[in-house]
Amino acid sequence: MPTDIDHSAPVIARASIAIAATRATVWALHTDVNSWASWNADISEARLDGPFEVGSSFEWTSYNFPVTSVVYAVEEQHRILWGAPASGITGIHEWLFEDTEDGVTVATTESFAGAPVEADVTAMQATLDQSLQSWLAQIKGAAERT
């Protein structure tokens, strides 16, 4: 089971955002997989049976791309690492949650590796960059409305 992103992957994306909400609020939204589609317009469905914990798997569809991800690491209200191989792409995704004076900063890093990535690194980089920015903007909106 991975303990970090793949630092040798051909595509690595990083993004962060400041959110005017408590870390507990943002964490709750982020780990309630079954509610993702209610606040993230890029996700058409998401399902986790059971608790969000190391070894759990969840199914979700983003941009019409179905994935079954496995939770690799959870440090309560601080760090999450999940990932999965899907359609020849191995994605490993880390999330970090840090308190600030005005709320919380969420930082995320994701690696993409595999033949489809190597076939078009530029397009995959742009896709992953956009995906992370969109997710962060949407969780910010949801958390700040809560």
**Tokens 């690696």 belong to residue:** 111
Is the distance from CB of 110 to CB of 83 less than 8 angstroms? no
pLDDT at 64: 87
pLDDT along the chain (146 residues), means of 10: 97 98 98 98 96 97 92 98 95 98 98 98 97 98 95
Which one, of 125, 90, 93, lies nearest residue 109 by Cα?
Answer: 93
- Which residues have C-beta within 8 Å of that of residue 80, sequence separation ≥ 6? 30, 31, 71, 73, 74, 94, 95
Strands 65-75 and 89-100: unpaired
Domains and CATH numbers, the chain: 11-30+74-145 (3.30.530.20)
**Entry pTM:** 0.95
pLDDT at 34: 98
